[in-house]
Amino acid sequence: MWERITSFNKANQLTYVLFCGIGSWLYLCYRLALPRPIPGIPHNKEAVKSVLGDIGPMIKHVGKTKELWGWVTLQNLKLKSPIIQLFTRPLAKPWVVITDFREAQDILLRRTKEFDRSDLVGDVFLGLMPEHHISMKTNDMFKRNRQWLKDLMTHDFLHQVAAPQIYTAFADLAHLWEEKSRLAKGHPFAASDDIYRATLDAVWATMFGADPLNSSIGAQLRLYSSINKLDIPKDENALVDFPDVPNPAAMQSIITLTDSLETSIKAPLPALAHWFLRQTSSMRKAYAIKEKLIREEIEKTLRRFVGKAGKDWDIRCAIDSILSRELLLSEKDGRTPMLQSRAMYDEIFGFIVGAHDTTSTAISWALKLLADNAHVQTKLRSEIRLVFVDAMAEKRIPTVQEITKGTIPYLDAVINEIIRHSLTQPGVARSTTVDVEVLGHQIPKGTNILLMSNGPSFLSPAFQIDDSLRSSSSRIATDRVGTWDPDDIAYFKPERWLVEEDGRQLFNAAAGPLLTFGLGPRGCFGRRMASLQIKLVLIQLIWNLELQKCPAELSGYSSIDKLTHVPQQCYVRLRQAL
Ligand code: HEM
C-alpha cells in the first residue's frame, strides 16, 4: 500500500516537474519571440507586448484601404517622430522608418559605405530573376551586370534608339483613344489597362525592336476601328465597357510573371511564397515562353552581328546594346562571353519589368492629375503648342525628333510634380552594413531602413529636427536642395519646380525634395528613360485630346500597393482639344 502511495506521489511529482519545465520553456520561448526594440527609437507600445508586433494593425489597415505604405508613414505621425521602428515580421529585427528628406538624401548619397541594398527589395525579385542586379549588394557581380546596361541611359541611345520606339507605341495609344472616344460619345471609360499595355509595347519595342504582331495596343486598335457603334448607357456619367482583346501570348507571359511579384511583396516569407506560385501551370507556361523568347532574341541579334567588326554592329534596340557590351568586355578580359547565362537573361527580363510597371503607374496618376487640374492641362497644352510651331501650322502632332530636341521647362515641371504626387514607389529601402548612428540613435548592423517619401517634408510639413542630431555630412549639405513651402506642400503645383532667371523661366530639378526614384549609386537606373516615356506620352495624348474631369465616383485618390503604388480608379473622359 505504502509503496503504491509513494510511486503515485513520484509520478505526480514527475508530471508536475515536467509541466513546470514545459511551461517555463514555453514562457522563455514566448519572451524570446517578443519584439526586441532598438533602445531609444520610438515604437508602438502595444507592439512589444505581442509576438506579432505591429502585424495585426498593419494587416487591418491594408485590409481596409489596400494601402501599406500610407500606414507605415502614419506611424511616424502617430509617434510624432521622423525616426521610428516597426515590428512587421515575427522573430525578425525591426524596420527603422525615416520620414525626412535631408536625412534620406544624406544616407543615399553620402553614406553609401554604411547603407546598401536591403533584402526587403532583393527578396521580392529573387524568385523571378535571381541574378538581376536589383537584388544584389553593391559588389563585383552588381558592377559586372551594370556594365552590360551601361549605354542604355545615354543621350544617344535614349534619343536615337529608344525614343522612336516609345513614340510609336504611344502614338498607337493616342489613336486607340481617338477610336474609343468616338465610340464612347463623351462617356468615361477605363484607362489603366490601356496604359499598362501601351507602356509594355513601348518597353518591348525598346528592348527587342518593334514587332507589330506583338503589339498589344495594335490588336485593340484593329478591332475598335472596325466597330461602327457600341451600346451606350443613357446616363452620361456611366462607364462604357469595351470588349476585351486578348494580349499576344508572349506579352501575356510577361504580364503574368510581373504580376506574380505581388505575391512576394505581400508574403512574410517572399522566397517561399513565390516558389509555391512558380509551381502552378500558368506560371510554368509563362516562364517557358519568356525563356524561349529571350533565347530567340539573343540568337537574332548574334546573327546580325556575325562576321562584322564591333564598330559595324548596328545597334537597333536595347538587346543589341547589351550583347555588344558583353562581347566587347569578354574579348577584353579574354573569357567566353556570357550570352546565354542566367544573369544575362535576368538583366534583359528585369529591364522590361522595371521599365513598364513603374512607368505605367506614373502615367495613370498623370492622367488623373491633369484631368482634375484643368488649368495645368490647358497651360501645358498651350506651352507645348507654342514650342512646336511647325507642327501647329501643319496641323500634325510633333515628330519624335522635334520632341526630343525641344526643351519645355513647364513640361519638365509638370512631369516632376506628377512623379512627386504619384508616389509610384513611396519609399526606398537600405540595410545597414555596420553599426550606424542616425538622428542621434544607434542602429545595429543588418537593420532594414525605410526612407519614406509619402509624408513629412515631401507632401506635408517636415518634422522639426535639431541640426546637432544630424550627421556631419548632412549638416554640410544643408542648402544643396530646397525645401517646400509648408503652406502649399500638399498641392499639385508644377510652378514649384520653376525658377526665374534673366526674365526666363527655367526648370530647377533641385527645387525641393523628391525621392520617388530613390537617389545615389543605387537610385533608379531608368529615371531618364521614365521621364522620356512620360514626356512622349503626354505630348501625344494632350496635343489633340482633352482629358475631362470624370464623375466624382470614378475620381478617387485611393491606391493599391502592389509592385508599385497604383491608383484604384483610373478612368478617362475625352473630347477633342480646342
Ligand atoms: C516612374 C517610373 C519609375 C520609378 C518611380 C522608379 C523608381 C525606382 C526606385 C524607387 C528604385 C529604387 C531606388 C533606390 O533604392 O534608391 C528603382 C530602382 C531601379 N529602377 Fe526604377 N523607377 C522607374 C522607372 C524605371 C525604368 C524606366 C527602368 C528601366 C529602364 C527602371 C529600372 C530600375 C532598376 C534596374 C533599378 C535597380 C537599380 C539598382 O539596383 O541599383 N526604373 N526604381
Sorted by where each starts, the structural domains of the chain and their CATH numbers stand as 150-406+527-541 (1.10.630.10)
In this predicted model, what pLDDT tens digit does every residue of 120-140 receive, in sequence order? 888 889 999 999 999 999 999
pLDDT tier at 7 (50, 70, 90 boundaries)?
Answer: low
What's the Cα-to-Cα distance from 452 to each of 73, 457, 474, rounded to whole Å? 7, 10, 17
Residue 1 has pLDDT above 90, yes or no: no
Provide the grid cell at 257.
510573371
pLDDT tier at 14 (50, 70, 90 boundaries)?
Answer: confident
CB burial readout 445-479, b (16+ within 10 A) else e:
eebbbbbbbbbbbbbbebbebeeebbbeebeebee
In this predicted model, what pLDDT tens digit does every residue of 32-48 receive, in sequence order? 778 999 999 999 999 99
d(CA 506, CA 503): 10
DSSP 179: H
Helix, strand, coil abundance in the chain, percent, nearest 5: 55, 10, 35
Which segments of 99-162 are extended strands (E)?
Answer: 115-117
**Is the beta carbon of 355 within 6 A of some atom in ligand 1?**
yes
Distance 454 CA to ligand 1 centre (A): 17
Sign of CA dihedral 361, 367, 372, 378: positive
Distance 425 CA to ligand 1 centre (A): 9
Q: What is the mean pLDDT of residues 102-108?
A: 97
Which tops the pLDDT comparison, 28 or 508?
Answer: 508
Which long-range contacts (C-beta less than 8 Å, at least 24 apart) are formed by 136-141? 138/112, 138/521, 138/522, 141/343
Instruction: Give the pLDDT of residue 3.
Output: 64
Distance 291 CA to ligand 1 centre (A): 23
pLDDT tier at 26 (50, 70, 90 boundaries)?
Answer: confident
What's the Cα-to-Cα distance from 208 to each of 51, 250, 299, rounded to whole Å? 49, 12, 12
Give the helix ranges, DSSP H, for 185-313.
192-208, 216-224, 249-259, 261-266, 270-278, 281-305
pLDDT above 90 as % of the chain:
84
In this predicted model, what pLDDT tens digit does every residue of 406-465 receive, in sequence order? 899 999 999 999 999 999 999 999 999 999 999 999 999 999 999 999 999 999 999 999
Provide the grid cell at 40.
531609444
**Is the beta carbon of 366 within 6 A of some atom in ligand 1?**
no
- The response to whether 524 counts as a known ligand-binding position is yes
Q: Which of 99-103, 346-350, 481-485 has the lowest mean pLDDT?
A: 481-485
Distance 199 CA to ligand 1 centre (A): 15
Distance 159 CA to ligand 1 centre (A): 19
In this predicted model, what pLDDT tens digit does every residue of 163-222 receive, in sequence order? 999 999 999 999 999 999 999 999 999 999 999 999 999 999 999 998 877 889 998 999
CB burial readout 236-261, b (16+ within 10 A) else e:
eeebbebeeeebbebbbbbbbbbebb
Question: Hey, which of 152, 525, 564 would you mutate to test ligand 1's pocket, going by the most ligand atoms within 8 Å of its Cβ?
Answer: 525
d(CA 141, CA 338): 13
**Is the beta carbon of 135 within 6 A of some atom in ligand 1?**
no
Q: What is the mean pLDDT of residues 324-346?
A: 96
**φ/ψ bin of 395: left (φ > 0), alpha (ψ from -120 to 50), beta (otherwise):** left
What is residue 51's three-state secondary structure? Answer: coil
Closest CA to 515 of 98, 142, 132: 98
Return phi, psi of residue 307, to 5°: 80, 0
**Is the beta carbon of 167 within 6 A of some atom in ligand 1?**
no
pLDDT tier at 159 (50, 70, 90 boundaries)?
Answer: very high
pLDDT tier at 8 (50, 70, 90 boundaries)?
Answer: low
Burial class (CB in 10 A: 0-12, 13-18, 19+), 553: exposed
What is residue 17's three-state secondary structure? Answer: helix
Provide the grid cell at 466.
535639431
Residue in this structure with the C-alpha cell 552590360, named with its chain if needed: 148
DSSP 134: G
